[in-house]
Amino acid sequence: VEWWAFQILVLLAGLQPNPQFETSVYSIIINSLYSSQCSKFFLLVVTSMRISNELGAGQVSNAQFAFFVTLGLGLVDATTMAIVLFSARHVLGRVYSSEREVINYVAKLGPLIALISFMDDIQASISGAAKGCGLQVTAAAANLGAYYIVGVPVAYILAFHFGQNGKV
């Protein structure tokens, strides 16, 4: 779900007035976000397994405890990754590009990159818990709605109707 939404945004970036610049910046942002997602996916899988095992054993209180531990770990991970991405905002552009305009624009978007990373980590914790409770369809519907009913249309409106072109 997430991957295809990001691919749609790549296509939209290519329709901007300066597509080479927009896709360069967007690619750096996506690569930066994906490089910070290993811990997120680990937490999602572990949470799903732990909660489903506890519920399967009839240990509802242990499943609730596992959920709160997951939220705590998710907050720590989300905060850590957001701080790292925010702190590295002046370096991220240089890792992928030598163009001064791209480097400066990525640095300007640093707070947004950190916020997206933070929210995505929290979403992974909650999604893992939902999947562990057997609510895979609900979690999938929430993700579909978040990306395709809210995220992509808002990005389109901001880029093409308000002329944001990736600006914060």
CA distances from 49 to 18, 21, 157 (A): 45, 42, 39
**pLDDT the model gives residue 36:** 77
Per-residue pLDDT tens over the stretch 61-77: 999 999 999 899 989 99
Q: What amino acid occupies position 60?
A: V
Per-residue pLDDT tens over the stretch 98-151: 999 999 999 999 998 899 889 988 888 888 899 999 999 998 999 899 889 998
pTM, full prediction? 0.81
Of all residues in the chain, what percent carry a pLDDT higher than 70? 96
- What does the domain layout of the chain look like in residue ranges? 2-161
Q: Is the pLDDT of residue 168 over 60?
A: no
Q: Is the pLDDT of residue 57 over 50?
A: yes
